[in-house]
């Protein structure tokens, strides 16, 4: 069996088909999104994040067998054969996916693979990450039949727990581990108390030492899990920021300059990677310039249509994008006239005065002076 091809055969599920059905809940849709996110992370070489996503889906929804199979394959690629065997064994007991899971189980428990696994363990070498190699190859487009879609639909209808957003799920995992540690500590303490009458006094130090060692191991595992989750969250944050940044380029290409400017300015500059900061600086000037120019023209059209409040809103935004534009005198002149029309005389005077102070060579200069004198 070519595990590389098997990992590539898993493709995302069409969310739109489920969304169009009024009987499908948000819980189901969120679960499918998490599964799809795992596949997309595999395609970009982020296997660690993909496996965290899949563990989260399988933990909350053990009946999501496509996710179980994919996680099992990821375990197999990383030489965690015991975990893979356990997952495939569970799926074999269910009618859906039984053939596929049985094939996987037969593969990882075969003599040839077992000998390979033993050899790997004896050499104590780090396994080659086959997932990255497989995902970087072009994936074949899957052809889902209507029966396949229906099977996935009825399977997903069994999902009863809503999958939260990645950051929330990560915090929940940490909280769960802490609760687990507390429960285990309580269990060991209770067991020690219960059996105290049956154990010799001389054995108590050994029991306490064993309990302390177990607690220390749990604390260490919890600390490591927190580190892994924090690292995964950092990667996910950068992926989300890169996605948001790409939307700016899409909006700009569609000539939706104002929307592109709003999206660009909403990005947390301090959190961007060095590469994204460079790209941010390279496009910021053009995006804001086009947006300010468009707002000026829209404001003028609204003034002509006597929609003065709407014109003011557009023209004020011109100067939130930048303090001085080559067409700023035009924007200020129309803004001043709009203020006067809605009886905001003081603001109108300030707009005219700004033209006089900042645009001494403007063609609007004499008109601004004349209007300023008429309202003072």
Q: What's the rounded mean pLDDT across residues 292-302?
A: 95
Give pLDDT, residue 166: 40
Separation of alpha carbons 105 and 83, rounded Å: 11
Q: What's the rounded mean pLDDT across residues 339-361?
A: 94
pLDDT digits 0-9 by tens, 244-268: 888 898 998 899 999 999 999 999 9
Shared-domain flag, residues 149 and 178: no
Do 237 and 271 meet the contact criterion of CB atoms below 8 Å apart?
A: yes
pLDDT band of residue 168 (cuts 50, 70, 90) is very low
Q: How many independent structural domains does the chain possess?
A: 3
Give pLDDT, residue 145: 43
Maximal CA-CA distance, the chain? 105
Average pLDDT of the chain is 74
Q: What's the rounded mean pLDDT across residues 72-94?
A: 79
Give pLDDT, residue 60: 78
Q: Is the pLDDT of residue 288 over 60?
A: yes
Q: What's the rounded mean pLDDT across residues 216-226?
A: 85
Q: What is the CATH number of the domain that holds 129?
A: 1.25.40
Shared-domain flag, residues 295 and 329: yes
Between 183 and 357, residue with greater pLDDT: 357
Shared-domain flag, residues 334 and 248: no
Q: What is the DSSP string of 141-205?
A: PP---HHHHHHHHHHHTT--S----HHHHHHHHHHHHHHHHHHHHHHHHHHHHHTGGGS-GGGHH
Give pLDDT, residue 78: 76
Shared-domain flag, residues 204 and 57: no
Residue at 38 is within a domain: yes
Shared-domain flag, residues 370 and 221: no
Separation of alpha carbons 69 and 99, rounded Å: 11
Residue at 157 is within a domain: yes
Shared-domain flag, residues 13 and 128: yes
Shared-domain flag, residues 335 and 234: no
Q: What's the rounded mean pLDDT across residues 184-200?
A: 51
Domain-terminating residue out of 112, 147, 163: 163
pLDDT band of residue 141 (cuts 50, 70, 90) is very low
Q: What is the CATH number of the domain that holds 343?
A: 1.25.40.10
Do 286 and 299 meet the contact criterion of CB atoms below 8 Å apart?
A: no
Residue 211 host element (H or E) = helix 204-253
Between 204 and 115, residue with greater pLDDT: 204
Shared-domain flag, residues 142 and 16: yes
Shared-domain flag, residues 8 and 127: yes
Residue at 48 is within a domain: yes
Shared-domain flag, residues 151 and 209: no
Separation of alpha carbons 345 and 348, rounded Å: 5
Nearest residue to 295 (alpha-carbon basis) of 261, 341, 344, 263 = 261
CA distances from 318 to 181, 315, 323, 324 (A): 56, 5, 8, 9
Separation of alpha carbons 286 and 98, rounded Å: 56
Give pLDDT, residue 146: 42
Shared-domain flag, residues 186 and 146: no
Highest mean pLDDT among 35-44, 135-144, 203-212: 35-44
Look up the domain containing 195 and give its range: 167-252
Residue at 263 is within a domain: no
Residue at 75 is within a domain: yes
pLDDT digits 0-9 by tens, 147-162: 443 444 444 444 333 3
Q: What's the rounded mean pLDDT across residues 206-217?
A: 79
pTM here is 0.42
Give pLDDT, residue 189: 56
Residue at 265 is within a domain: no
Residue at 260 is within a domain: no
pLDDT digits 0-9 by tens, 227-246: 888 888 878 888 888 888 88
Shared-domain flag, residues 105 and 174: no
Highest mean pLDDT among 32-36, 69-73, 170-174, 256-260: 256-260
pLDDT digits 0-9 by tens, 2-43: 666 677 788 888 877 766 666 666 667 777 788 888 888 777
């Amino acid at each position: 069996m070519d595990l590389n091809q098997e990992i590539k055969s898993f493709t995302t599920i069409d969310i739109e088909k489920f969304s169009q059905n009024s009987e499908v809940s948000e819980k189901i849709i969120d679960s499918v999104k998490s599964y799809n996110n795992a596949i997309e992370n595999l395609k970009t070489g982020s296997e660690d994040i993909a496996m965290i996503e899949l563990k989260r889906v399988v933990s909350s929804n053990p009946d999501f067998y496509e996710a179980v199979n994919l996680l099992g394959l990821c375990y197999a690629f990383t030489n965690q054969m015991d975990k893979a065997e356990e997952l495939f064994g569970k799926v074999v007991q269910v009618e859906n996916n039984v053939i596929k899971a049985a094939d996987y189980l037969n593969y990882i428990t075969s003599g040839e693979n077992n000998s390979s696994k033993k050899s790997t363990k004896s050499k104590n070498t780090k396994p080659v990450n086959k997932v990255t190699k497989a995902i970087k190859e072009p994936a074949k487009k899957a052809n889902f039949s209507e029966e396949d879609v229906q099977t996935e639909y009825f399977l997903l209808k069994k999902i009863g727990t809503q999958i939260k957003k990645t950051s929330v799920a990560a915090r929940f995992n940490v909280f769960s581990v802490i609760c687990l540690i507390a429960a285990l500590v309580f269990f060991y303490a209770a067991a020690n108390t219960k059996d105290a009458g049956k154990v010799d006094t001389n054995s108590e130090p050994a029991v306490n030492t064993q309990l302390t060692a177990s607690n220390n191991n749990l604390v260490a595992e919890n600390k490591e899990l927190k580190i892994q989750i924090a690292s995964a969250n950092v990667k996910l944050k950068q992926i989300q920021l890169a996605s948001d940044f790409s939307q700016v380029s899409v909006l700009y290409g569609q000539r939706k300059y104002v929307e592109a400017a709003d999206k660009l300015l909403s990005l947390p500059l301090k959190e961007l990677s060095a590469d994204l900061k460079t790209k941010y600086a390279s496009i910021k000037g053009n995006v804001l310039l086009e947006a300010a120019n468009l707002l000026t023209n829209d404001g003028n059209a609204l003034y002509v249509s006597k929609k003065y409040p709407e014109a003011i809103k557009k023209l004020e935004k011109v100067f939130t994008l930048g303090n001085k534009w080559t067409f700023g005198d035009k924007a200020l002149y129309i803004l001043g006239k709009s203020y006067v029309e809605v009886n905001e005389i003081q603001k109108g005077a300030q707009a005219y005065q700004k033209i006089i102070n900042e645009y001494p060579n403007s063609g609007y200069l004499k008109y601004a002076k004349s209007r300023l004198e008429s309202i003072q």
